Amino acid sequence: MLARALAGQGLRSSTGLDEETRTALRAIARAHPNATDDLVETARQAFAGQLDGSNAARWHAQADQMLSEMESRSRESD
């Protein structure tokens, strides 16, 4: 998928990539033909985060935080 993005091509559907990785690859494709090394490194880090589970862990932590904030606001308004 990185090679496709670097060529300015869109991503295939049903790749199994998480949102963070897809977003990074889309940024590369949009930048074609001027994708920077920083964009490529961001995509590589996003993919590594998908493989090691840190992207999912971060997503779950953010979702838990949002839920806690909503519950807190709900209690305050009661």
pLDDT at 24: 97
Q: Quick one: pLDDT band at residue 77, thresholds 50, 70, 90?
A: confident
pLDDT at 35: 96
d(CA 55, CA 64): 14
pLDDT at 78: 78
pTM, 2 dp: 0.79
Residue position matching structure tokens 């971060």: 58
Q: pLDDT for 5-49, tens place per residue?
A: 999 998 988 899 999 999 999 999 999 999 999 999 999 999 999
Q: Quick one: pLDDT band at residue 4, thresholds 50, 70, 90?
A: very high
| DSSP one-letter code for 60 | H
